[in-house]
Structure 1
């Protein structure tokens, strides 16, 4: 019964995360139509430092709290989890206030680092300062909200987290789109003011999410208190021991979770100035940054989120197999995780790269930024494979209790990114940032893959053959997509958004059907996804 409850809860939570990510992708299209690429760049100036400081404020403690509470609840000690929760609320309040003050006060130095201030075109320093300060307010309540979610999850209750995440995202998006539209199109206000209020949406959305959690708390308070009264034991751990256990578990997780924000921070501090150093004006540099850090980045996260959501459900079983020293099952589970990532992400990333122009044109319009946005998307899309593999290999290392190597890999990758970013941007302009990110992730991934091979005794021979087969299918699919795209373009040239949509839909549809056909006919799809989609196994049996 407990296992079925946990599986159900995990499915609910996974679904909510996926819905939140999709909503977070969809809103960027109308938002970009309102504020443009310079507005997206300004939005990123505020959100990147906010994301980093939010991770500093929480330090992965909410996730660790869920593990801690679950552990002591299983021992019949509900009091210890409640004590940790009460003290955690104080800690999260303090860290929230401290990080809010840090970000609020550092807004001007950050602004001077990312924009020139002397160029009349593009975002002003005042715009950047206001944007950063508006988003910083969210730090006062998001850490507290995260802790409450962790406490509910510790009781194997995923509903409050799931519902609050979706409501938080919906409230945030409605606030952003409505207010920016009113400021820009009704009040004729500046893009800078509109984007500043858009980042304030993080605070408004968090209020919505926190309200949901408080409603759940009010409804369940009596039953939670009853559990404490019925506790079988009380370990009476001092707070110092509690937090020592928490931090030892949470720090590596929070650091690895910071991977993308830390990479974006490096770009935030170097991208514009490096481009301006090779002759770009500030406005042009910001357009390229907006296309790179927001528009293209959001699109490539689609295959990443789908693949990781499906593969991460295997990770709890990897942990169990490792603890039970079941090497045969562990090898099978790691192989299955790798296969799912490669099977889903590789064709999606390559297809998105090939269809960069119709994809960007459909979603962001055929304006002046079509060329720069599409070129960046074409080169950036394949990096989705590296993002997915890094996330999953880091999680596997967590499952086999070797998360320190994920941290080592991340640090090595960040050093590569930091040392090469300006140099490569100077040589290849905006694409240089993509090349630096790719080389950095390859470095991190090499360390993760080596560590899994060593500490899980994993043999890569089989997955190497599978990767070759998936790569062959992807190549054949790519040929089909290119041919179909060129034929359709003869009838529907990229003259308007509707034509771009037609080109994209037909190319994706026929390419996807061809890839699935090859995978089903050879039995590959059934072997990789048959446990999740039974009809794939039926196809294989029918063939045999």
Structure 2
């Protein structure tokens, strides 16, 4: 499997992310129908513990491996690539064994005391075997990403979801007669088997891929491990700050509902009302504005090795170009999502949730969350430039300011829950700007292309006007239901946006050519930009 360009790799991951988003949505629907709210609740109780343990086990190594392998490949140092893999596998093996044993031994205490429902014990036990599987998968994915071959990671995502969905109905239904906790455990087992199938694919590709390696992992394993002190230092120097950023985010999101509840109580809001308001904000509005994040995540995964390779070869112009390409894609993809969530907020939340009140929060968050789509590429750039610690500190500053803003704003009776929404917006803006200024400080001469921003802004305005007119016409003149009118409107508005970008030459033949499989065939029908 050959190396792809930065854009090709990003597009492959974006397509895989889109497919897995759809499959994941299908999986949640299936689970909800089989398990019901209580069963899903038991399932979800085990998930945060699992995510925390996996975060500690991975130790930020996928990012570190991706960066270091890209640098070693750029310098043609195959021995260093092998040493990176040997040390990484050793670290994750030790950590996964420790974390798995601790989780198994502490499952009863965790379920009874921390999760407050002893029935969560079985889902937690069922999901624990996934820890070493994900740990090894992360190392192999980091290796492929460092070689700038994104196909294995993309295919593994899809395989995991397909296997999971194929098994969840069978296992959950099979165990349901034993109780909801066992049915939830069955759903967890489907996740474990899905990850195992993805790992099997990754290992097979690693061993039998088209581009044969010039080394074997088992040969001289302990010799390379003994010589790996410097490699260990490099991995931890990048991996620990990346883990820190993830943990800061996790702790921040954990503390957020506590601070919001206390602040709303201080503002005189009744507990039941406060819970409902926070549900609208965090359970309804935020998941919608976060939907396009799979695009920026894909960009980030592809960007780390691309930036690292350019830095290793001292190709500073290439660093500029790749960061510009990433931010440009984030802008082009994030802009239409922002339009939909601002101008079609109430229809969207009505169709999706049956709760038009959530539209108010969606409109409040959406304009600021456009900046969030730039945050991941900027953070990936900092990591690729060996500034993972700076990215972590920026995240920490943002989390601290957000928590203080929640207390100050949400406790004011005149703001209430809207103060919490504003605090979240402040966090998004602050961290993104801190990342941007950190990047500009290191990459001399880098700046925003305001001409592109202006053109995308015009396309957004055209999309909003055309979409609003379309929705009104479909409902008033054709008397369509809101659901059908909204779906047709979004297709129409998306088409207008795309055509506007073509007319203003924001996208052109060069961009279409980079779409895997179909791009080269349809590109000749598009004008150059």
Q: CA deviation at 1:153?
A: 5.4
Q: CA deviation at 1:456?
A: 1.2
Instruction: Specify the alignment match of 1:50 in structure 2.
Output: 50
8 Å CA contact retained: 1:46, 1:199: no
8 Å CA contact retained: 1:62, 1:146: yes
Among 335, 345, 362, the residue aligned to 1:356: 345
Among 233, 238, 243, the residue aligned to 1:249: 238
Instruction: Specify the alignment match of 1:499 in structure 2.
Output: 481
8 Å CA contact retained: 2:63, 2:238: no
8 Å CA contact retained: 1:417, 1:440: yes
Instruction: Specify the alignment match of 1:411 in structure 2.
Output: 396
2:411 matches 1:435: no
Q: CA deviation at 1:411?
A: 0.9
In the aligned structure 2, how far is the partner of 1:196 from the partner of 1:429? Answer: 39
In the aligned structure 2, how far is the partner of 1:33 from the partner of 1:382? Answer: 34
Instruction: Specify the alignment match of 1:444 in structure 2.
Output: 431
8 Å CA contact retained: 1:66, 1:151: yes
In the aligned structure 1, how far is the partner of 2:80 from the partner of 2:307? Answer: 28
Check 1:344–1:83 CA distance in 2 against 1; reply closer, same or farther (3 A cut).
closer
- With normalisation by structure 1, the TM-score equals 0.75
Unaligned runs of 5+ in 2: none
**1:144-293 superposed matches below 5 A:** 144-151=136-143, 160-179=152-171, 187=177, 190=180, 194-195=183-184, 197-216=186-205, 238-256=227-245, 261-267=250-256, 270=259, 278-281=269-272, 285=275, 293=282
In the aligned structure 2, how far is the partner of 1:60 from the partner of 1:521? Answer: 43
Instruction: Specify the alignment match of 1:525 in structure 2.
Output: 507
Check 1:347–1:252 CA distance in 2 against 1; reply closer, same or farther (3 A cut).
same
- With normalisation by structure 2, the TM-score equals 0.77
8 Å CA contact retained: 2:66, 2:144: yes
In the aligned structure 1, how far is the partner of 2:430 from the partner of 2:88? Answer: 36
Among 459, 464, 469, the residue aligned to 1:473: 459
8 Å CA contact retained: 1:172, 1:202: yes
Instruction: Specify the alignment match of 2:494 in structure 1.
Output: 512
Count, aligned residues: 517
Unaligned runs of 5+ in 1: 115-123
Check 1:180–1:56 CA distance in 2 against 1; reply closer, same or farther (3 A cut).
same
Check 1:35–1:439 CA distance in 2 against 1; reply closer, same or farther (3 A cut).
farther
8 Å CA contact retained: 2:459, 2:500: yes
In the aligned structure 1, how far is the partner of 2:185 from the partner of 2:411? Answer: 30
Q: CA deviation at 1:415?
A: 0.9
Instruction: Specify the alignment match of 2:326 in structure 1.
Output: 337
Among 467, 472, 475, the residue aligned to 1:486: 472
Partner of 2:271, secondary structure, is coil
**1:133-152 superposed matches below 5 A:** 134-151=126-143
Deviations 1:213-258 (A, max 9, x none): 455567579x668657999xx9886232221121123233344455
8 Å CA contact retained: 1:172, 1:204: yes
Check 1:293–1:26 CA distance in 2 against 1; reply closer, same or farther (3 A cut).
farther
In the aligned structure 1, how far is the partner of 2:40 from the partner of 2:168? Answer: 12
Instruction: Specify the alignment match of 1:59 in structure 2.
Output: 59
Check 1:386–1:133 CA distance in 2 against 1; reply closer, same or farther (3 A cut).
farther
8 Å CA contact retained: 1:346, 1:382: no
8 Å CA contact retained: 1:25, 1:298: no
Check 1:431–1:528 CA distance in 2 against 1; reply closer, same or farther (3 A cut).
farther
In the aligned structure 2, how far is the partner of 1:87 from the partner of 1:451? Answer: 30
Partner of 1:525, secondary structure, is coil
Q: CA deviation at 1:412?
A: 0.8
In the aligned structure 2, how far is the partner of 1:267 from the partner of 1:340? Answer: 31
Deviations 1:285-330 (A, max 9, x none): 3x76666556655443432323554686566555555556666555
Partner of 1:146, secondary structure, is helix
8 Å CA contact retained: 2:9, 2:302: no
Partner of 1:141, secondary structure, is helix
In the aligned structure 2, how far is the partner of 1:341 from the partner of 1:352? Answer: 16
In the aligned structure 2, how far is the partner of 1:2 from the partner of 1:248? Answer: 29
Deviations 1:479-529 (A, max 9, x none): 332333334344688xxxx93430221221222222223322222333994
2:387 matches 1:398: no
In the aligned structure 2, how far is the partner of 1:29 from the partner of 1:353? Answer: 26
